[in-house]
């Protein structure tokens, strides 16, 4: 195996024996083969474009499979092998449609022609570097870096497009771009400049995907609003729901209401508490615990069953497996996976029944956290915010969106939040917030000093807010605003968020706790020189630099 797609890549270069995330060599190789299969489908999609051949099955398959390969989403080798076989069937069906339209296929890349059916064949193909399977199949490290940067961006984009799809929102252009970009990662004729342009275009479609999801989420569940979320517990049996998918959240709430079983959110599902549609359920108690990497201890004290709607899954303690459930793109061997029927309906009755046999959660903290500052809520406070900036009460905003992770170096973000001078406000989204959302940072004239927009995809809201402020203050450039960007990343959704911000013209983003292992020195140099991307240093030095 070779994987360097996340921030915790071993030794800052890549995992080669087993993932720091817990991904085995076997699963990593299968994920490589899955990506390779998708490239084959993408090549055929490209061929069919001119002839108007469209395959919703192919588009869905690509989107769903990309999501499965995101860090901590799916550890289930059998599920991945099955998805590879399904992909080959989708690919062959696409070939038949192309033939029916008289499209000449010409010489096809191996990824569009290979076939495997037995487990042994899959295993053997999964390490076929020569054919082009796996990250290291691209020998030139700069080309590899740019290709993988695109692919990781596509994974994040696919995740967001998938959530939107589940709500019924789709955009043809996003699917078309995903196929185009995947196929382009096979094209040896592209120059470095053309690949950099493709990276930027990935950011453009990242904005589209986040906007699509924002519209879908708020259209269906209302605009997030200022909320106080309880972090204590009640005395009823309960289910913990993690991940990002709001349609799963909705179905769980509908199925648990009136059953005597409570629901708590974990990690990235916390922002569900901000939506009007979920506030109406009196069995949604609040949020339990912290960000994803604390789940082993927190699942122990939670006592009840856990539903993963997406990443991040940490390989569970064996004794917890029987009360962990996955759905959608998530998966873990031994955990029950709940599949939707043809209408998207999921039956969570087994989880509810199990919850009733287990103890209520053990309280690990009390109090509440405040959030719900997506664009509509911030716009509702716009006058207050603008006045505070004009009067100098707010001197600077810090966008600290992104991810949390296990590394000790992430204590930087807690310290950074604590040491920020008066007159500063943190704008956050994603699970990075758990590093400072329980600190007593106070408010500025009623505006909390930590404004949480929501999930990582709600970083879109932060961009919308920045664009609005630019308009209000009549500036020409988004970079003239008193906003600094100190972003923490972990997995590939953060990659698409970063590319989206670059596409929107945001400069001088600081990225930590370490720069991606997949950036070759030359590619890193381009990002530094063109966009002013920088790492992080000492808290005091960084604050002084940002405030200067
Ligand atoms: Fe991921 Fe980051 Fe959204 Fe977290 S991008 S790690 S679980 O912020 O939240 O999916
Ligand atoms: Fe390593 Fe991250 Fe890849 Fe897991 S996802 S194998 S931790 S680089």
Site to probe by mutation for ligand 1, drawn from 162, 243, 244, 312 as the one with most ligand atoms within 8 Å of Cβ, is: 312
Question: Three-class SS of residue 5?
Answer: coil
Cβ-based neighbours of 505, under 8 Å, separated by 6 or more: 477, 478, 479
Domain count, the chain: 3
Annotated binding residue at 111? no
Site to probe by mutation for ligand 2, drawn from 11, 12, 15, 495 as the one with most ligand atoms within 8 Å of Cβ, is: 15
Q: Which atom of ligand 2 is nearest to the CA of 72?
A: 5
Q: What is the pLDDT of residue 447?
A: 95
User: Does residue 382 sit in the same domain as residue 330?
Assistant: no
- Which ligand is closest in space to the CA of residue 434? 1
CATH code where residue 512 lies = 3.40.50.2030
Per residue in 5-47, pLDDT tens?
Answer: 999 999 999 999 999 999 999 999 999 999 999 999 999 999 9
Q: Is 23 in the pocket of ligand 2 (CB under 6 A)?
A: yes
**pLDDT exceeds 90 at position 53:** yes
**pLDDT exceeds 90 at position 238:** yes
Tell me the pLDDT of the chain averaged across its residues: 98
Residue 490 CA to ligand 1 centre (angstroms) = 7
Q: What is the pLDDT of residue 88?
A: 98
Residue 311 CA to ligand 1 centre (angstroms) = 8
Residue 129 CA to ligand 1 centre (angstroms) = 30
By CB neighbour count within 10 A (0-12 exposed, 13-18 middle, 19+ buried), where does 538 fall?
A: exposed
User: Does residue 341 sit in the same domain as residue 393?
Assistant: no
Residue 9 CA to ligand 2 centre (angstroms) = 5
User: Does residue 326 sit in the same domain as residue 391?
Assistant: no
- Determine phi and psi for 534, rounding to 5 degrees: -145, 160
Q: What is the pLDDT of residue 242?
A: 98
Q: Which atom of ligand 1 is nearest to the CA of 244?
A: 3
Per residue in 494-522, pLDDT tens?
Answer: 999 999 999 999 999 999 999 999 999 99
424-428 sheet: strands from edge to edge? 450-452, 424-428, 396-399, 483-488, 510-512
Q: Is 407 in the pocket of ligand 2 (CB under 6 A)?
A: no
Question: Three-class SS of residue 306?
Answer: strand
Residue 446: which region, alpha, beta or left (left: phi > 0; alpha: psi -120 to 50)? left
User: Does residue 402 sit in the same domain as residue 539?
Assistant: yes
Q: What is the pLDDT of residue 466?
A: 96
Query: What is the rounded CA–CA span in Å between residue 196 and residue 147?
Result: 9
Q: What is the pLDDT of residue 437?
A: 97
In a domain, 480, yes or no: yes
Residue 293 CA to ligand 2 centre (angstroms) = 14
Q: What is the pLDDT of residue 360?
A: 98
Q: Is 15 in the pocket of ligand 2 (CB under 6 A)?
A: yes
Provide, rounded to the nearest whole percent, the portion of the chain with pLDDT above 70.
100
Domain boundary among 91, 112, 137: 137
Residue 404 CA to ligand 1 centre (angstroms) = 7
Q: Which residues are bridge partners to 242 per DSSP?
A: 308
Per residue in 117-156, pLDDT tens?
Answer: 999 999 999 999 999 999 999 999 999 999 999 999 999 9
Q: How many CA atoms lie within 13 A of 330 on its CB side?
A: 26
**Are 476 and 392 within 8 A, CB to CB?**
no
Average the pLDDT over 418-433 and give the result.
Answer: 98
Annotated binding residue at 26? no
Domain boundary among 96, 117, 137: 137
Annotated binding residue at 335? no
Q: What is the pLDDT of residue 152?
A: 99
Of 287, 240, 284, give the one whose Cα is nearest residue 259: 284
Query: What is the rounded CA–CA span in Å between residue 37 and residue 512?
Result: 32
Instruction: Give the chain's length.
Output: 548
How many CB atoms neighbour CB 545 within 10 A?
A: 13
CATH code where residue 65 lies = 1.20.1270.20
Cβ-based neighbours of 476, under 8 Å, separated by 6 or more: none
- Which residue has the least CA distance to atom 3 on ligand 2? 3
Q: What is the chain's alpha carbon radius of gyration, rounded to the nearest angstrom? A: 23
Query: What is the rounded CA–CA span in Å between residue 290 and residue 364?
Result: 10
In a domain, 195, yes or no: no
Annotated binding residue at 431? yes
Q: Hey, which bits of 340-482 come out as E strands?
A: 368-371, 396-399, 424-428, 443-444, 447-448, 450-452
User: Does residue 330 sit in the same domain as residue 389?
Assistant: no
Cβ-based neighbours of 197, under 8 Å, separated by 6 or more: none
Of 488, 492, 484, give the one whose Cα is nearest residue 515: 488
User: Does residue 352 sit in the same domain as residue 377?
Assistant: no
**pLDDT exceeds 90 at position 182:** yes
Residue 91 CA to ligand 1 centre (angstroms) = 31
- Determine phi and psi for 119, rounding to 5 degrees: -60, -35
User: Does residue 112 sit in the same domain as residue 253?
Assistant: no
Per residue in 98-118, pLDDT tens?
Answer: 999 999 999 999 999 999 999
Instruction: Spell out which residues line ligand 1, taking CB within 6 angstroms.
Output: 244, 267-268, 292, 311-312, 402-403, 430-431, 455-456, 490-491, 493-494
Of 438, 461, 436, 451, give the one whose Cα is nearest residue 397: 451
User: Does residue 273 sit in the same domain as residue 377?
Assistant: no
User: Does residue 41 sit in the same domain as residue 130?
Assistant: yes
Distances in Å between the Cα of 421 and the Cα atoms of 394, 437, 539 are 10, 17, 12
**pLDDT exceeds 90 at position 95:** yes
Query: What is the rounded CA–CA span in Å between residue 290 and residue 240?
Result: 12
User: Does residue 343 sit in the same domain as residue 390?
Assistant: no
Annotated binding residue at 244? yes
- Which ligand is closest in space to the CA of residue 435? 1
Of 429, 438, 431, 441, give the one whose Cα is nearest residue 378: 429
Per residue in 193-221, pLDDT tens?
Answer: 999 999 999 999 999 999 999 999 999 99
Residue 310 CA to ligand 1 centre (angstroms) = 10
User: Does residue 304 sit in the same domain as residue 352?
Assistant: yes
**Are 454 and 432 within 8 A, CB to CB?**
no
Q: Which atom of ligand 1 is nearest to the CA of 310?
A: 10
First to last CA, the chain: 45
Average the pLDDT over 364-386 and give the result.
Answer: 97
Q: What is the pLDDT of residue 396?
A: 98
- Which residue has the least CA distance to atom 6 on ligand 1? 403
In a domain, 247, yes or no: yes
Query: What is the rounded CA–CA span in Å between residue 379 and residue 464?
Result: 10
Q: Which atom of ligand 1 is nearest to the CA of 156?
A: 5
In a domain, 206, yes or no: no
Q: What is the pLDDT of residue 167?
A: 98
Q: Containing domain of residue 124, as a range?
A: 1-137
In a domain, 161, yes or no: no
Q: What is the pLDDT of residue 50?
A: 85
Question: Three-class SS of residue 165?
Answer: helix
In a domain, 106, yes or no: yes
Average the pLDDT over 534-541 and give the result.
Answer: 98
- Which residue has the least CA distance to atom 2 on ligand 2? 6
In a domain, 475, yes or no: yes
Domain boundary among 305, 324, 356: 356
In a domain, 429, yes or no: yes
Of 386, 155, 349, 359, give the one whose Cα is nearest residue 252: 349
Q: Is 19 in the pocket of ligand 2 (CB under 6 A)?
A: yes
Q: What is the pLDDT of residue 207?
A: 98
User: Does residue 51 sit in the same domain as residue 107?
Assistant: yes
């Amino acid at each position: 195996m070779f994987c360097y797609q996340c921030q915790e890549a071993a030794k800052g270069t890549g995992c080669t024996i087993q993932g720091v995330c817990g991904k085995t060599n076997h699963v990593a190789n299968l994920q490589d083969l899955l990506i390779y299969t998708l490239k084959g489908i993408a090549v055929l999609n490209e061929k069919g474009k001119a002839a108007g051949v469209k395959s919703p099955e192919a588009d869905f398959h690509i989107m769903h499979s990309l999501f499965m390969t995101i860090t901590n989403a799916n550890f289930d080798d059998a599920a991945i092998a099955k998805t590879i076989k399904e992909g080959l069937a989708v690919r062959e069906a696409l070939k038949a449609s192309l033939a029916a339209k008289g499209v000449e296929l010409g010489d096809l890349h191996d990824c569009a022609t290979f076939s495997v059916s037995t487990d042994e064949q899959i295993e053997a193909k999964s390490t076929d570097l020569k054919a082009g399977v796996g990250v290291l199949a691209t020998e030139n490290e700069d080309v590899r870096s740019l290709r993988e940067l695109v692919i990781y961006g596509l994974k994040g984009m696919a995740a967001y497009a998938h959530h939107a799809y589940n709500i019924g929102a789709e955009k043809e252009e996003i699917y078309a771009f995903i196929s185009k970009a995947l196929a382009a990662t096979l094209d040896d004729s592209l120059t470095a400049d053309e690949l950099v342009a493709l990276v930027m275009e990935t950011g453009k479609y990242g904005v589209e995907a986040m906007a699509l999801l924002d519209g879908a989420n708020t259209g269906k569940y209302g605009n997030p609003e200022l909320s106080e979320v309880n972090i204590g517990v009640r005395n009823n049996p309960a289910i913990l729901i993690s991940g990002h998918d709001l349609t799963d959240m909705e179905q769980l709430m509908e199925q648990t209401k009136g059953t005597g079983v409570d629901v708590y959110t974990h990690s990235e599902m916390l922002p569900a508490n901000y939506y009007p549609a979920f506030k109406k359920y009196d069995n949604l108690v609040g949020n339990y615990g912290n960000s994803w990497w604390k789940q082993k201890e927190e699942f122990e004290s939670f006592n009840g069953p856990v539903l993963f709607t997406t990443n991040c899954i940490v390989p569970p303690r064996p004794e917890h497996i029987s009360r962990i459930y996955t759905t959608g793109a998530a998966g873990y061997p031994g955990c029950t996976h709940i599949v939707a029927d043809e209408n998207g309906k999921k039956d969570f009755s087994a989880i509810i029944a199990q919850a009733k046999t287990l103890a209520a959660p053990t309280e690990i903290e009390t109090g509440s956290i405040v959030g719900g500052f997506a664009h509509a809520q911030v716009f509702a406070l716009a006058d207050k915010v603008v006045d505070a900036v004009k009067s100098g009460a707010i001197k600077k905003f810090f966008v600290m969106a992104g991810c949390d992770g296990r590394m000790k170096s992430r204590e930087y973000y807690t310290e950074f939040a604590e040491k920020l001078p008066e007159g500063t406000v943190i704008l956050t989204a994603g699970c990075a917030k758990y590093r400072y959302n329980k600190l007593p940072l106070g408010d500025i004239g009623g505006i909390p000093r930590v404004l949480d927009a929501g999930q990582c995809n709600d970083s879109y809201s932060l961009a919308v807010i920045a664009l609005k402020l630019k308009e209000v203050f009549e500036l020409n450039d988004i970079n003239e605003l008193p906003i600094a960007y100190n972003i923490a990343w972990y997995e590939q959704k953060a990659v698409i968020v970063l590319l989206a911000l670059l596409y929107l013209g945001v400069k001088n983003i600081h990225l930590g706790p370490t720069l991606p292992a997949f950036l070759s020195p030359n590619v890193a140099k381009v990002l530094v020189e063109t966009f002013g991307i920088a790492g992080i240093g000492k808290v005091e030095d960084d604050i002084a630099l940002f405030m200067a």
